[in-house]
Homo-oligomer: A and B are copies of this chain.
Amino acid sequence: MSLRIVFLGTAAGVPSPERSLPAILVQLEREQLMFDCGEGAQRQMLRARCGFNKKMKVFITHMHGDHVLGLPGLLQTMALLNRERKLDVYGPPRITDFMEAVRETVPFGLTFPVEIHQVEEPGVIVDEQGFRVEAILSKHPLPSFSYAFVEKPRPGKFHPEKAKAMGIKEGPLWGRLQRGQSVKLSSGRVVRPEEVMDKPREGRKIVYTGDTRPFRALEKFASGADVLIHDSTLGEELADRAMEYGHSTPRQAAETAKKAKVKTLILTHISQRYKDPNKVLKQAKKIFKNTIVAEDFMKLDVPVLE
């Protein structure tokens, strides 16, 4: 199953000619998940040819403008393009008030249902057939979440030749074995799925911190992630300021990546003062080698481990 991350906006609070405000799209085979929706997200989607009519969920980390002000415009554009599918929006408590207030004062018709889910408690907030999305409270001056996309384990490879050798012909019994159920043959013998199938394939995991200073619980939350997308607003030389405003430095992000044993660390929410991403990258690489500084329109395919 393909799993791709498209970075639509990688700036911190102030955009730059190179970086739009925060928005990250995780593209699954039949759905896309957007994490944060800063101003300009809709035009970045257009430029990256992401499509406005797909099944889609939006997750807002917190109610600072640079993370949420692109949402009304995205909805308006979807409506002007005659979207019909429901759109689900998840976010902190004020998200409903915000959307209602905007819709009362900036009138636009919607051609599709929008369901807003206020995330009141950390935990599993979406549980679908192939994946779930979990939330944890991050450390920022106002209620803010980090989100994890967790793919569910998928059944191991099925070996038809092994089934046939046991006298099980192609048919309903194959399906039951593939769904993880044991089957009883007419001989009375019970065949367990693992006799004809490889071990389940582990699901992939992507964690997006949103804005946060480092905190211990994040290490467990991001544990073993294929990709950790981490706040990296300010460099080490401004570590005090980062702490004060609830942000992280590249070094802090790298330390969390190392402790959480993630595969790849991606730094984002980069202050406009860093024109050269190498400065940011160097600080992190000293601690965690497999680090990338996000750029707008960067695409990353998360590979399946067989």
Contacts and interface: CB of A to CB of B under 8 A. Distances in A.
Given A21-B73, A63-B106, A69-B72, A15 B39 contact: no
Contact of A77 (B14, B63, B77): B14
A20 interface: yes
A70 interface: yes
Interface stretch (A97-105, A256-264, A283-291): A97-105
A76 B101 CA distance: 18
A13 interface: yes
Interface string A63-96: 1111011101100110011000000000000100
Given A40-B43, A98-B106, A105-B101, A73 B81 contact: no
| This protein's copies in its complex | 2
A29 B25 CA distance: 43
Contacts of A65: 72-73, 76, 106, 108
B105 A63 contact: yes
Interface of A: 13-17, 20-21, 39-40, 42-43, 46-47, 63-66, 68-70, 72-73, 76-77, 80-81, 94, 97-98, 101-102, 104-108, 142
Closest 7 pairs (CB-CB, A-B): A101-B101, A98-B105, A39-B73, A65-B76, A15-B43, A94-B105, A97-B105
15 contacts: A15-B43, A15-B77, A17-B43, A39-B42, A39-B69, A39-B73, A40-B43, A63-B105, A64-B107, A69-B73, A94-B105, A94-B106, A101-B102, A101-B104, A101-B105
